[in-house]
Structure formats: C-alpha cells, structure tokens
Amino acid sequence: MTLIRPDLDTLPAYVPGRAIPGAIKLASNEVSLPPTPRVLAAIAEAAAGGNRYPDLAVTGLTARLAQYLDVDAERIAIGCGSVTLCQQLVQATCFEPSDEVVYAWRSFESYPIVTQIGGATIRTVPLDDDFRHDIDAMIAAVTPQTRLVIVCSPNNPTGTVVTREEMERLLVSVGPDVLVALDEAYYEYVTDPEAVDGMALIDAHPNLVVLRTFSKAYRLAALRVGYAVSAPEVTTALRKVCSPFSVSSVAQAGAIAALDDAAELLAWCKDVVTERSRVRDALLEAGYTVPVSQSNFVWLALGDRTGPFTAHCLDHHKVVVRPFASDGVRVTVSAPDENDAFLAAARSFPG
C-alpha cells in the first residue's frame, strides 16, 4: 500500500537563493531597502490583531487594488504570492492527467512544480536564441488538450520581455477556450515601450489572466501577496481553489499601505533601471553574453562555466548569485556598491 503519491519522488524542488552571513546576496531579486515607514507602521498595527483570523475575502486590499487599477473588484483575486496563484490556475483549469500546461523554458522554476502538483501534463517550449519566448513555437505547441498557457514577461531568469504584438497574436491564436496567464511579477521595472502591459489587454481578451505581486518593487517579499486580474468567472474560480485565510491580516495591511506609498516605492525602480544598464554594459565589455533585461536582474549565459563562476563569486568576492543548472546565472541588480562588488567578481573570473 502506497500512502504518498509516487510521482512526488520526481517533483523538482524549488531552490531559493542562498543567504550566507557576511556575503552580499544577489540571488533572490529582492529589493535591498526595507519597506517604507508608512508600510512598517501598518504592519505593526495589524500585528496587534494577530489573535484574530484575517478577512477571508481580502476585502480591503481587493477594494484598494480595484481603485488603483481602475477595474471592478470582482475581477481581482488575491493570493499568497503570485506563485500560489499560478498553482490555483492549474487547479482551476486542469482536471485530467492529459490536460496540458504550456510554458517557455527556461522560465520561472515554479511552473513545473505547480503543474505536477496539479496533476497536469507539462509541455515546454525552448526560448529562442535571444533568450526570449518563441511565440510562434508556443502557438504550435498548443493542442486540444491544452488548458493553460503561462507567459512570463519579463522572463525569470533571463529578463527578456514579450511584446504587445506577440502577446495579442498568442491570445488570438490559442482561441477563447485556453486560459493564458501573463506573469508580470517584474512589471514595474519595464521601460521598453514595445513590451506587453497585461492590463491594457484584459478587456479585449476574457481568457487572459494578469498576475502581479507585491514581493518585488513593493518590497514585501516576506509577506507573500500577489494578485490576479481577469474576467469575473476566472477570478471566482481562483477564489474557490484558494486555501482559506492564506493572505494574512499583516500582509493585507502592508500591501494597502504600499499602494498608498506607491510613488516613493516605484521611484526606486528608476534607480534600479539605471544600475541595470550600467551593470549590463560592464558585463558586455568584459565579454559576457547578457540579453537586454527589463527586470531587476541580469542573466549571464555561461553554459558549463555556470558552476565555476558561481563558486568564484562566493569564494573570492563573497557575492552570492543564483545558478541555473548548466545554463547560466541570474544576478540581482542592487545598490551601486553591491553591484560593483559583483562586477569585480565577474571581471576577475578566469574562465
């Protein structure tokens, strides 16, 4: 008799960025600054009610987001980080083992995990030679069994974006019976005018779900708050498969306060964009292959040099970067001094 699903033995483990005392952590795409004073005060006030269950419907944050995004509240679903919403999307759309989830690879490492947990079939499409989503290949990969297509833009870990034209072509091609999730966790760092903005497309495409998060630009990674915007029938389904009370009162209060402080928080994104260009230019000058990033990180395509480069950064410069098998490393763009420490490591790498 087997008590546990045997397929869990093959479930890939999510690998977080390492945190090593005394080292500079550039492995998790976190903002180096803490939440703003207003946000910290709201968190502290909410924590005083920690003996009570949170609002199950996340009413306050939903209403505040509806105002901020100028959409009806019924089109918003809140989740315990956008990654949990990805898992809820699989649960809401896939009910047979033959049901398929299509996404690019390499992309966010949680996609294969949430797909397998949901009991669905994984169909991956390789990135193109520029480390971007190959939209035509993704369209070709859709079959009658496809229930969900996930597009990550900016893509984690390569930082590349999908254009609006590409996204509209994908939505039209897959048809209205396939749900398409646009994961925009790093949306606030995008400066390319051709890049897709999911909120500009949801009215014309009822099968589109836009996912965003408070973990990155809003500096609330520890509180775990993400949200989805879509047609009411989709957000209703997401709420049905949501674990009760998964978004705490502290998280809700922090997210509302972060929206109130959005101008200050998002101003920091401009500094990151400036540093992003400086870091990439320096890496290109040093001979590395680095695609144009629209996120708060850069991607170094290192191939079989990935492991030695990662070890060199840590052992000789006390800088922690995020390796991805034998593909490359992702490096968070941080404050100038931390970026300089990483660039010193990259320039001195003998490989």
Tens-place pLDDT, residues 78-115:
999 999 999 999 999 999 999 999 999 999 999 999 99
Q: What percent of the chain is modeled with pLDDT above 70?
A: 100
CA distance 302 to 180: 31
Average pLDDT in the 320-349 region?
A: 97
Q: Which pLDDT belongs to residue 167?
A: 98
Chain mean position to CA 228:
12
Q: Which is more confident, 88 or 32?
A: 88
Cα distances (Å, whole numbers) of residue 111 to 68, 80, 114, 141: 28, 16, 5, 16
Residue 351: which pLDDT band, with cuts at 50, 70 and 90? Answer: confident
Residue 7: which pLDDT band, with cuts at 50, 70 and 90? Answer: confident
pLDDT tens digits for range 247-298:
999 999 999 999 999 999 999 899 999 999 999 999 999 999 999 999 999 9
- Average model confidence (pLDDT) across the chain: 95
Q: Which pLDDT belongs to residue 25?
A: 96
Return the HEC string of the chain: CCCCCHHHHHCCCCCCCCCCCCCEECCCCCCCCCCCHHHHHHHHHHHCCCCCCCCCCCHHHHHHHHHHHCCCHHHEEEECCHHHHHHHHHHHHCCCCCCEEEEEECCCCHHHHHHHHCCCEEEEEECCCCCCCCHHHHHHHCCCCEEEEEEECCCCCCCCCCEHHHHHHHHHHHCCCCEEEEECCCHHHCCCCCECCHHHCCCCCCCEEEEEECCCCCCCCCCCCEEEECCHHHHHHHHHCCCCCCCCHHHHHHHHHHHHCHHHHHHHHHHHHHHHHHHHHHHHHCCCCCCCCCCCEEEEECHHHHHHHHHHHHHHHCEECEEECCCEEEEECCCHHHHHHHHHHHHHCCC
> Over 70: is that where the pLDDT of 183 sits?
yes
Q: Which pLDDT belongs to residue 264?
A: 92
> Over 80: is that where the pLDDT of 120 sits?
yes
Which domains does the chain carry? 6-30+263-348 (3.90.1150.10), 37-260 (3.40.640.10)
Q: Which pLDDT belongs to residue 32?
A: 87
> Over 70: is that where the pLDDT of 1 sits?
no
Q: Which is more confident, 32 or 253?
A: 253
> Over 90: is that where the pLDDT of 20 sits?
no
Residue 10: which pLDDT band, with cuts at 50, 70 and 90? Answer: confident
CA distance 2 to 42: 47
Q: Which pLDDT belongs to residue 251?
A: 97
CA distance 46 to 15: 31
CA distance 289 to 123: 27
Q: Give this prediction's pTM.
A: 0.95
